[in-house]
Structure 1
Amino acid sequence: MSDLLVNFLNGSIRRQADELVGRTLLADLPSTRRDNMDVEDWKFAFLTYQLDVSSLLGARDQEPELRKAAEMAFEAARAAPVTDLYLALEAACYGVLADRTPDVARYLRSFDLDPIDTGADWGTRVQQTVLRTWILLLRKDGWKDLDEVSARVVELRDLQSNFEKNFLETSQNPRRAAWELIASYHLSKAAEILAVYTGQGSVEGSFDVREQLQGQFDRSLTACLRAELIDMHSLVSLLSDVSERMIRNSIWTVTRAVNSRISRFVRNLVSRAHEKPIFEMLPPQRITLRDNGLLGSGHRAVVVSLPTSSGKTFIAQFRMLQALNQFDADRGWVAYIAPTRALVNQVCARLRRDFAPLGIVVERLSRHSRLTGLKPSYSRRRKTPTRSELS
């Protein structure tokens, strides 16, 4: 990005965009924001942040700046009457880069993914398929979304031989159309690879799919350059960075190579049998467990301070399993202390549900119970202001 554009974005034009998006965030309801926001104003704000994000993609030393710009772009999109799937996909990408994955899922659920127009030409059908597969992948509404990603890519591959030749022969610019198809095919393959990894933690025996994904993105970018597809080149670059962020947040990546007990726990969380499978960590969870090394066995005392509903209990579950594994030979147990009876019951029910497949027994200790009378090898402990409960 040139110094001129940097100064342009950091100057008055950037401040105007910040103020515009800030005003929309003061509204109580999303619908109010959309009705009161002028479309031209929205385009101005969204374009400003698009340029800002584009300039920061790939700059690992500027991640805080990228996160801020992406968050503002995401909010600008959410404040506007976006109905186009292309813009919706871009907005979702900004949300992922801003570490707002739960909001991204909610945002994408508001869009109806209509069936592919089978009456359209092959090029249009391929574009529609690619957009929908990536939206499904970013939404990740359970296994049905991941399965549909794979199914759509397989269907695209099966139909290619039936429609591609005629499409190219009747195209006004066959060379450009061919390169655009190539770019789209590699983009769909990247989506397929990422969907498989999200669901099972490996692809064709490989636990690190970054190289496979980057190969697909590089080929897609090359095709975009050959056909001078400027907008598509920007989208592919954006999806490349988003894919890296998704891999980083993947539950498989965060918990890789810890111990067998945690591996079994993760497989159960991702399982199709699980009511709400968990495919990725929230950013605070990833930072705590992987980046700050809480899954390591060397920590003796750790304090985790996070806002309400940011996943502290989920973090604690991994630490419990690590401790139980570490003190397995000593028939160790772990105490979980909660301040109220209601919270004790809530956490106890959750631990019993999640740990039962691992053969770990969860019990409660009240003032009438005795530790020496417990038969299970492993247990958890809760404490209320007036009593202790082991669970």
Structure 2
Amino acid sequence: MTPPADLRAEIDRIYREEYGRVIASLARRFGDLDIAEDAAGEALLTAIERWPVDGVPPNPGGWLTTTAGNRAIDRLRRESLRDTKHQAAMMISDDTPHEATGPVEDDRLRLVFTCCHPALAPEARVALTLRLLGGLTVGEIARAFLVPETTMAQRITRAKAKIKSAHIPFRVPDHDDVTDRLGGVLAVIYLVFNEGYLAGAGDDPVRVELTDEAIRLGRIVRQLVPDDGEVAGLLALMLLSDARRHARFAGGELVTLDEQDRSGWDRELIAEGHTLVRECLARVAATSTHPGPYQLMAAINAVHTAAKDARDTDWTQIVALYDQLYALSPSPVVALNRAVAVAELDGPDVALAIVDSLDLDGYHAWHATRADLLRRLGRSSEARTEYDAAIAATQNRAETAYLSRRRAHLVPSEG
């Protein structure tokens, strides 16, 4: 039976939201990512068949996890694996709560630490986490990383094979694991947040399940490592960014920071984020250390969210913070973001010279930034070309709508 379109959409939404929890639970129980993914897929097919008849269960996530676990056990039986493994599978089908034996007690965070094992290449860690925890398709991940889908599929397959061949366990990390892998875990959590914050593709401009999951994981890591400034900085950065969620889109179109209705910002999240930033600043002052990249990005967002009106923004402080950030992370993307602030302080002509020096051709934000600077300089013909390039480089519908409107409002007589 094919479910009605609205029910199928609801099933797909539930599956996406619960996917990471289902995979993490199965990975812990069965120790095999392929079994976990296949079983989760079979559970989805079963839901598509049964929920139109039986109705969506009260606890759909629990239903999917239980159904997937049963499918995994069925697979082990069919494959006639060793008796010991078969017996182990039967024992772990018990749904009694898992008793943690180390500092990380959450299945999904445990999965992140497994995906961030140092034996895996950095790009593989991110791709695998987005696939297994975020439930993104291989195509969506490939678009986010600007690589062919076949390349990304091979990267994910190799990463899973490496976990299996190297016998990387799906176990509770010990304290040494937490220390060694913390940087990689923070990077992955932030990338998961970014994919949700402005979705690389799809009908929804924001994937709330990813931003919420990243923040949830950030809170857990902070409980795990409460005295780490970068952990606090990352959580503050995500909170201050997510606080603007409801003001970032209107009428299906992206609304830029300077045009947002600030009364729609979540003041509780902003207050929490500012408290974390002040905590980071106090730690830096007390220890005579330098803040890390996440703390600096959080501080930049704190300056933005402290202004009651866009015209009150302290651009001098923001440029100074970007100077510190660029000294730590001299990437072209950081330089691009700094240029946006420089435009407000020193003018669009100064900023355009910076932007033109960056090797970011094909990156949608570079084209969009260049288009806006050219527009402000009255060079409409060149701006139109850059808007076209930015539109071609993004698959986010809300961003496309915003760029298209700005392009349409260029004054024909200019340039």
Instruction: With the length of structure 2 as denominator, give the TM-score of the two structures.
Output: 0.36
Higher helix share: 2
TM-score normalised over the length of structure 1: 0.37
